[in-house]
Amino acid sequence: MNADLVIAVDGPAASGKGTVAARLGRAYGLPVLDTGLLYRAVGVAASRAGIDPDDSEAVARVAGAIDLMALDDPAFRTREAGELASRVAIHPGVRAALNAAQVGFARRPGGAVLDGRDIGTVIAPWAPAKIFVTARPEVRAERRWRQLTAQGESVSLADVLGDIRQRDARDGGRADAPMARAPDAVLLDTSEMTIDHAADAARRIVEAARAGRA
């Protein structure tokens, strides 16, 4: 029975949190929301409309019109979208516009899995299972570089590492809902793990949390 099984998966870019969240969703039969895609969608939509991603009021209006169920645009997975997401996410108005949708998803009957950067601290601090997924910057950069090159993007590993470090600084240093590990979140370092090992470790963390509640 998955009643009230809400799993919060947080962590920096390319840490493996998205894959971990997807695996947990399949394992427990729960819907999964990649909240990072919401911010990517806002950034891309703003860019397409010719809106400066640093214009907080204009971008907040874009965020208010984002469709939670329309996040499958391949443009949201690009390097540019990731950079735009990090820039628009610093605006309190954008976060406020998207928070209600995220909280609503987390409150779905039966539970849910959400991955992002502030799930365990802001969106669902009451979640019974919280995981903070991380990995060394160099490892995350190589993962993202391989993903981008597989998508046909031409970018150097050094540039991707620079992006990763810049995003870490921006996401962790923003005034509103900065990326942070919740006090009760279990740290999962995937630097030396395969996808299967990381998913298995995450499921053990969730099972331990469920056993603790019982």
Strand order in the sheet with 186-189: 32-34, 111-116, 5-10, 129-134, 186-189
pLDDT one-digit tens code per residue, 18-34 = 999 999 999 999 999 99
Distances in Å between the Cα of 169 and the Cα atoms of 4, 45, 137 are 33, 24, 12
What single letter denotes the amino acid at residue 164?
A: I
pLDDT one-digit tens code per residue, 36-82 = 899 999 999 999 999 999 999 999 999 999 988 888 999 998 989 98
* 204: Cα separation from own chain's centroid: 21
Other Cβ atoms closer than 10 A to 71: 16
pLDDT at residue 7 tops 60? yes
Say which residues have a Cβ less than 8 Å from residue 120's Cβ, sequence separation at least 6: 8, 10, 127, 130, 132, 181, 182, 184, 185
E strands, the chain, in order? 5-10, 32-34, 111-116, 129-134, 186-189
- Give the burial class of 208: count Cβ atoms within 10 A of its Cβ; 0-12 exposed, 13-18 middle, 19 or more buried: exposed
Overall average pLDDT of the 185-209 stretch: 97
The whole-chain average pLDDT of the chain stands at 93
pLDDT one-digit tens code per residue, 101-150 = 899 999 999 999 999 999 999 999 999 999 999 999 999 999 999 999 99
pLDDT at residue 155 tops 50? yes
* Domain 5-213: homologous superfamily in CATH: P-loop containing nucleotide triphosphate hydrolases (3.40.50.300)
pLDDT at residue 177 tops 90? no
pLDDT one-digit tens code per residue, 87-113 = 998 899 999 999 988 999 999 999 999
What local confidence, expressed as pLDDT, does residue 3 receive? 53
